Chains A and B, each alone.
Chain A
Amino acid sequence: MTPEEWTAVRLSLLVATTATLASLPVGVAVAWLLARRQFWGKGLLDTLVHLPLILPPVVTGYLLLITFGRRAPVGVFLADNFGIVFSFRWTGAALACAVMGFPLLVRAVRLSIEAVDTRLERAAGTLGARPLWVFATVTLPLCLPGVIAGAILCFAKAMGEFGATITFVSNIPGETQTLPSLIYTLTQVPDGDAAALRLTLVSIAISMLALLGSELLARRICVRQMTA
């Protein structure tokens, strides 16, 4: 593999890991809100979360561009006040991947939270645990397999994200050129077929490893929780 290809693989792993870790706490919080609370605007939040799943990725990428771009209001605000710049940076690729993976994460976590018996949570309350502690000591451990599944889905989505990323942060080698972007570029040039095939195999390997790892982790948690 050429250095250029290695760079793309490393960048993809960095972008996908960052996207997953950053959206995990937010995703769990939103999933909990949707699963356990009734509030005004719940339907709106639910729709908003699922929007990236149904919109064409290019549209999502364009919406990100006109929101977080260099001249866009939110982008300017973040750059001026916090020094955070998304446009044409790898952080922008991570943001695009996080947004695209978010609905998958929330769906998986929400389902597993809904499967946790609320009677156990109420029992924890009568033992003196405040709601946040009930979540940390009862709900979260019991829905952990679902959280892992959601995180892996989000990671896999981030590894494969193409449309939103290329629309939002373009295809700059070493900065925003992730694995799918490079494969796409290689298919556009003569003699790129061999390299594209190599990267395709790498991509398949990473996805399968992630899936295998999550299966093992989830199984270990289940065994630990349910046996004597």
Chain B
Amino acid sequence: MSLDVDIELVRDSFHLVARFSAQPGLTALFGRSGSGKSTLVDIVAGLVRPDRGRVAVDGKLLLSTEQDVFVPSHLRRIGYVFQDSRLFPHLSVRRNLLYGRWFTRHDGNGAATGLEAVVALLGIGHLLERRPGSLSGGEKQRVAIGRALLAHPRLLLMDEPLASLDDARRAEILPFIERLRDEAGVPILYVSHSVAEVARLATTVVLLNDGKVTATGPVVDILPQADSGEGGSVLDAVVTKHDARFQLTTLATRAGDLQVPQLSAPVGSTVRAYIRARDVMLALEPPSQISALNVLAARVAAIVDAGRAQADVRLDCNGAAVTARVTARSVEGLALAPGRPVHAVIKSVSFERS
């Protein structure tokens, strides 16, 4: 599957110009609020008409202002999980889930399309006979995801599905979205303004800033330049060891081993580690007798001014990119410059389980 978007829309003082393609897997539309992310997915869903442009899924034209094509949303077969789950209050969970089945003819493609499979994937079997009004926020979102999946979509849109939830509920749903990405075989366009979510879930990132697409590419390349306020870096990692006594998990990354608070993922599974730039400390000598458990050997690749007398030091850790946020004073004091070998120090407790 592929999604091609090339649109332009003007509303009052807001100007949205976006052009990108999404490949299989999870594509994250990332940007701060007001950058036009939600409008963009509404256009893909057919809920908003742009002034100009085209939208195509798998080469099938859904919108083209040039050729005067507009497929209405109910014929697009694009699933949509809204921020507010929008379950039908007068129907039970089961009938909410099966709502889309009334309208889509079965054409046999897509893997997890049966009710049992979707219910098992999302862990909502015990909720089937209940009404949406009695569900928690996290349960509602899981049902909403199931409802969208069971309409056999070609593409699944998720507009900040976790934004209205607290951290505990968020942690409850994230694994289901990961399974969806890996098992359901439906490509996902995922809107988020959370670096942690994007780092964990995305295959590809489309960076949106003030109505313009500023970058597109693999998450590892794009995320570090995503947001200067909350800069950081992403490392692909494999779980190699669990330490039950200290509740730590060891991750093998290209930059070296990392010890992080214990994860539930089994040994051998792949995860992503997100390291916030301000959690990384730099030392010229390999530090000894310190509490931080992670020390990575690195070389300064570049120094970028981050404003307010701070700088982002881009490091090359054995080919992996890690960014450290330090003060301008430290840059001068340590005489940091491209090519200089340093040691990056990261406390284990600074890792969050997203």
Contacts and interface: CB of A to CB of B under 8 A. Distances in A.
B102 interface: yes
Nearest to A138: B88
B78 to A, nearest CB: 7
B99 A124 contact: yes
A138 B88 CA distance: 7
A224 B99 CA distance: 18
Nearest to B132: A228
9 contacts: A120-B88, A120-B89, A124-B88, A125-B47, A126-B73, A127-B79, A128-B74, A133-B103, A224-B90
B131 A119 contact: no
Interface string A119-150: 11011111111110110011001100000000
B90 A225 contact: yes
B38 to A, nearest CB: 13
B185 interface: no
Nearest to B77: A128
B131 A227 contact: yes
Contact of A123 (B77, B78, B82, B103): B82
B242 interface: no
B299 interface: no
A89 B76 CA distance: 53
A138 B147 CA distance: 15
A117 to B, nearest CB: 8
A12 B288 CA distance: 98
Contacts of A120: 86, 88-89
Interface string B88-127: 1110000000011011100000000000000000000000
B47 A122 contact: yes
A127 B147 CA distance: 8
B45 A127 contact: no
**Interface-central residue, A127, A129, A133, A137, by most chain B CB under 10 Å:** A127
Interface of B: 45-47, 72-80, 82, 84, 86, 88-90, 99-100, 102-104, 130-131, 133-134, 147-148, 151
Nearest to A131: B74
Nearest to A123: B86
Nearest to B130: A228
Contacts of A227: 131, 133-134
A26 B116 CA distance: 42
A132 to B, nearest CB: 10
Contacts of B100: 127-128
A120 B76 CA distance: 17
Interface of A: 117, 119-120, 122-131, 133-134, 137-138, 141-142, 224-228
A224 B91 CA distance: 9
Given A126-B74, A127-B79, A141-B90, 16 more contacts: A119-B86, A123-B86, A126-B47, A127-B147, A128-B75, A128-B100, A128-B103, A128-B151, A129-B74, A130-B74, A131-B74, A133-B103, A224-B90, A225-B89, A228-B131, A228-B134
Contacts of A122: 47, 73
Contacts of A125: 47, 72-74
B3 to A, nearest CB: 15
Nearest to A140: B90
Contacts, number: 76
B102 A129 contact: yes
Contacts of B77: 128
B151 A127 contact: yes
**Interface-central residue, B74, B99, B148, by most chain A CB under 10 Å:** B74
B99 A127 contact: yes
A133 B84 CA distance: 22
A142 B88 CA distance: 9
Contacts of B148: 126-127
Contact of B133 (A133, A137, A228): A228
Given A120-B88, A125-B73, A128-B74, A226 B133 contact: yes
A39 to B, nearest CB: 18
B99 A126 contact: no
Contacts of A117: 86
A119 B84 contact: yes
B149 to A, nearest CB: 11
Contacts of A119: 82, 84, 86
A120 B147 CA distance: 13
A125 to B, nearest CB: 5
A68 to B, nearest CB: 40
A195 B89 CA distance: 51
A134 to B, nearest CB: 8
A195 B77 CA distance: 67
**Interface-central residue, A120, A126, A141, by most chain B CB under 10 Å:** A126
A225 B80 CA distance: 24
B48 to A, nearest CB: 10
Contact of B89 (A126, A129, A131, A226): A226
